[in-house]
């Protein structure tokens, strides 16, 4: 009985000192006429701790690890050491969607919109100016 109690205490101590599992709460990818819409929600995703890049049909999401290790187990000797970034590679449905139009972090979720090419608003076609230089037509008798 005594060994059972000590093992329970040991397990409880380990549980308190360990980090929570890093997991996605939600991952959703939609493809429509305007491009690819990606919605990511995770317990480790915070504002200004991530970078995005699209290369070779993959979305690379790099998450920087904060010095406080997500707010858990501060001051633990086991958790001290070099910090590493977390890298995620998400394969896109088509390689043609390779430009990030927008990436917004709102209410704990990251919304990404990928498009084929950048658009800078409506394209304007300039007509030739109406005022042309009209030279004086002279004819010389030959």
Tokens read off for 62: 């790099």
Q: Which two tokens stand for residue 133?
A: 């230089």
CATH architecture of the domain with range 19-115 = Sandwich (2.60)
Alpha carbon distance 90, 114 (integer Å):
13
Predicted pLDDT of residue 129:
45
Whole-number average pLDDT of the chain: 70
- Gap between the Cα atoms of 109 and 45, Å rounded: 8
* Beta-carbon contacts of residue 47 (< 8 Å; ≥ 6 apart): 105
Q: Where are the domains of the chain?
A: 19-115
Task: For tokens 């390779």, name the residue.
Answer: 98
99-142 tens-digit pLDDT: 888 888 888 888 989 888 766 554 444 444 444 444 444 445 55
Average pLDDT estimate for 72-101 = 71
């Amino acid at each position: 009985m005594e060994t059972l109690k000590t093992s329970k205490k040991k397990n409880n101590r380990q549980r308190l000192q360990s980090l929570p599992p890093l997991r996605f709460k939600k991952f959703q990818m939609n493809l429509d006429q305007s491009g690819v819409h990606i919605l990511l929600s995770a317990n480790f995703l915070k504002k200004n701790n991530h970078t995005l890049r699209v290369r070779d049909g993959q979305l690379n999401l790099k998450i920087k690890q904060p010095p406080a290790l997500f707010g858990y187990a501060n001051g633990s000797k086991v958790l001290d050491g070099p910090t590493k970034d977390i890298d995620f590679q998400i394969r896109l449905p088509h390689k043609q969607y390779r430009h990030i139009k927008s990436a917004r972090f709102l209410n704990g979720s990251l919304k990404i919109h990928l498009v084929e090419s950048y658009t800078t608003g409506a394209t304007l076609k300039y007509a030739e100016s109406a005022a042309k230089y009209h030279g004086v037509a002279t004819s010389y008798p030959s």
